[in-house]
Amino acid sequence: MAVKVLIKRRFKEGFFKEIDNMIKKVRYGAMDQQGYISSETLWDHEDPFRVVIASTWRTIEDWKRWQYSEERRKNEDDFEYFLDGTTHFEVFDLGMYPH
């Protein structure tokens, strides 16, 4: 079953260009992964330093393989300096009630 992953972050002020480039880098890395379907970046209208990445994966296993990959963990480490708080992950099953 396909899953939608929401990655929620708030960044420090003054680093938009760096953050935007990093988000693109991670997206390009994800696009090469097995099971990746799509993703989009949502910037909060009220809080321009808050961003949600919504990505869709073929299965939860595909997402977890990418989530815990060395490449992605390195990218998460790179984000740390720019974060204002912690990164939150939410995973949702797509379609009919799965249980």
Q: What is the pLDDT of residues 21-64, one digit of tens each?
A: 999 999 999 999 999 999 999 999 999 999 999 999 999 999 99
Evaluate whether residue 74 is within a structural domain.
yes
Kindly report the CATH number assigned to the domain that includes residue 25.
3.30.70.100
Kindly state whether residue 34 falls inside one of the protein's structural domains. yes
Which residues span the domain enclosing 54?
3-93
Residue 98 lies in a domain: no
Q: In this structure, is residue 62 part of a structural domain?
A: yes
89 touches 7 (CB < 8 A): yes
pLDDT of 64-80, one tens digit each?
999 999 999 999 999 99
**Could you tell me the two tokens for 29?**
């890395």
Number of domains in the chain: 1
Residue 12 lies in a domain: yes
Q: 24 with 17: CB under 8 angstroms?
A: no
**pTM as predicted:** 0.91
